[in-house]
Structure 1
Amino acid sequence: MIREMTKLDFEAFWPCFESVIKAQESYTFDPNMSLEMAYKLWCEMPLKAFVWVDGEQVLGSYYIKPNGMGPSDHICNCGYMVDVDARGKGVARQLCEHSQQIAIELGFQAMQFNAVVSSNEIAVKLWKKLGFKIVGTIPLAYRHGKLGYVDSYVMYKWLLT
C-alpha cells in the first residue's frame, strides 16, 4: 500500500535511508546526516512524501517537489529509496508510477531527475523503461563510495500525452 508518509513511518524507514546515504552510491546527501535533518529533507521540504508499507514493514518511499520556480514550476522532481530486502520486487517501479500520477494530480506536466548516478545501472534502466530520457551527462559529478568519480545523468519525462 502506498500512502502519505508520517513521522512514525519515516522513523521506521530511517535504517533504509541511513544505509543508502552511508553507502554513497546513489544520493548526494551527507552520509552523516541525522534522522531529524533527513526527515526535514525528505518529508518537510518537499510538497509530499509517500511510503510503501506492507503491514508494519516499510518497503520504500519517495518525495515529490517542484524542480524549479516561476516559469519552471511545471516540472517536478522526485527521489526514491527502496529497502534492500524489497529490491528487485517491483517496488521502485510502482513508486515511480505512483509519483507520476500524483505529479499530474498536483498540476505538474513533466518530471526531472537532476542527478542519477551513472553507475546505478538498475535505476537508469528502470527509468528508461518508464519513459525517462537522458537529456544530459555531468562528467565526474558524483564521488562514489567504491568507484571514485563517476558521471551523473539528468533524466526527463513529459508526463502529459
Structure 2
Amino acid sequence: MSLNVRAFAEGDRAGIWAILEPVIRAGETYALPRDQSEAEAHATWCAPEHEVLVAEDTGRLLGAAYLKANQRGGGAHVANAAFATSEAARGRGVGRALCEAAMERARARGFRAMQFNFVVASNEGAVRLWRSLGFTEVGRLPDAFHHPRLGFVDALVMHRVL
C-alpha cells in the first residue's frame, strides 16, 4: 500500500461519504444519528472551522480526519480530531497515519495538546491505537453511549501533550 495523507479537496466529498456512511449507519463508534444524511454528515465533518485530511492509496480514499480547536477562548490551545477509515482498509495503518498527520498539523498550528472527548470504550481498535500513540485515559463517562448491539457502554476522554 502506498498511503498518502493530504489536505481535503472538494472532489473528495463522495469518497468521504463512502467512508462515513457505513460508520454512521452502524452507530457503534460515533454519537451521530444513524439516519444522518450525506449533507448533514458533510456539514459536520467539513465544517468551516475544521481542517480536513484524507488518506488515499493510488487515488482511492481510505480514510478521513478533521482537526479543530477542542474549545474556544481559554481552551483553544488544545486540539480535537475525529477519524474514520473505510471498512476495507481497517487494520492497515490508515488511522495511525491520519492521527500522526493530524498531530503534526496540530503542532504546526501551535496546539499544545490533543484531546478526544468521546471515545466509545467498546471501540477496542481505536482505544488501542490511541494508547499506542501516547494518549491516556483522563476520564470515563459511565454508560454515556448507547451501542446498538452492546447496550450502554462507557465513553473515554483521552489526552496527550503534543
| Runs of 5+ consecutive residues of structure 2 not aligned to the other structure | none
Q: Unmatched 5+ residue regions in structure 1? A: none
Aligned length: 159
Contact 1:74-1:109 at 8 Å conserved across structures: yes
**1:8 Cα deviation from its structure 2 partner:** 2.1
The match for 2:35 among 32, 35, 40 is 32
Of 142, 146, 149, the match for 1:146: 149
State yes or no: 1:72 paired with 2:82: no
Q: Which residue of 2 aligns with 1:95?
A: 98
Aligned residues with identical type, % of pairs? 40
Q: Is the 8 A contact 1:62 1:78 kept in 2?
A: yes
Q: Which amino acid aligns with 1:105?
A: A
Equivalent residues in 2 for 1:9-158 (5 A)?
9-158=12-161
Deviations 1:55-85 (Å, cap 9, x if unpaired)? 2311001000111111110001000000011
Question: Aligned equivalents of 1:158 and 1:125: distance in 2?
Answer: 18
Q: What's the C-alpha RMSD, in Å, of the aligned pairs?
A: 1.0
Separation of aligned partners in 2, 1:137 and 1:98:
26
SS in 2 for 1:139: strand
CA contact under 8 A between 1:46 and 1:63: conserved in structure 2?
Answer: no
Q: Which moves more between the two structures, 131-140 or 49-58?
A: 49-58
> Once superposed, which parts of structure 1, at least 4 consecutive aligned residues long, lie more than 4 Å away?
none
Contact 1:131 1:157 in 2 (8 A): yes
- TM superposition score normalised by structure 1: 0.95
1:82 and 1:42 map into 2 onto residues whose CA distance is 14
**1:21, 1:30 → 2: CA distance?**
7
